[in-house]
Structure 1
Amino acid sequence: MSGFVFTFPSGLTIWTRDDHSRLTFEHLEEMDKEHQKEILLGGNYGVPDEDLGPVMVFQVSDASKFITGQLLPVDGG
């Protein structure tokens, strides 16, 4: 499967299968900066170990055995 992978200094990684993409790394960096301005939590991305980790542990635990086919957004909102 072909595609493009972009990794930013912030650790954000974007993968796309669009082989016709004309985005440059610089353009994606600018998009990342603009996106950070829109984040309600003071422009900060979540910390994976603190924000996403507990949700993932819950999802693989017996406590989530009755949850099926659901999305659990971890988006700070």
Structure 2
Amino acid sequence: MRVNAVLPAISTPMYEEARSRMTEEKLAANDAENQREIPLGGKNGDPDEGLGPVMVFLASDASKFITGQLLPVDGGQASVR
């Protein structure tokens, strides 16, 4: 049995809804924080482009010798915290 965990920083409808309620000032602050904290692109990833391929990999035989891992899919955010 294999058990791995994916730790995503991905844009979701809930995240986009929260952003739509932010003032321009809070939006700018959120964007600036993302630019500082996410080295690869400065924003949360796209679910189809960033997360989907990782999930397909983990579900495939290509990952059959990987277990017990925490896999950040966060544009490098975990490495700068």
TM-score (norm 2): 0.49
Structure 1 unmatched runs, 5+? 1-6, 13-24
Q: Distance in 2 between matches of 1:41 and 1:10?
A: 23
Number of residues of Structure 1 aligned to a counterpart in Structure 2: 58
Shift of residue 33 of structure 1? 4.9
The structure with the greater share of residues assigned to helix is 2
Task: Report the RMSD for the aligned CA atoms in angstroms.
Answer: 3.2
Shift of residue 42 of structure 1? 4.5
Structure 2 unmatched runs, 5+? 1-13, 77-81
Report which of the two structures shows the higher radius of gyration computed on alpha carbons: 1
Q: Which has the higher contact order (CA 8 A, sep 6+)?
A: 2
Q: Distance in 2 between matches of 1:37 and 1:64?
A: 31
The share of aligned pairs that are identical, in percent, is 57
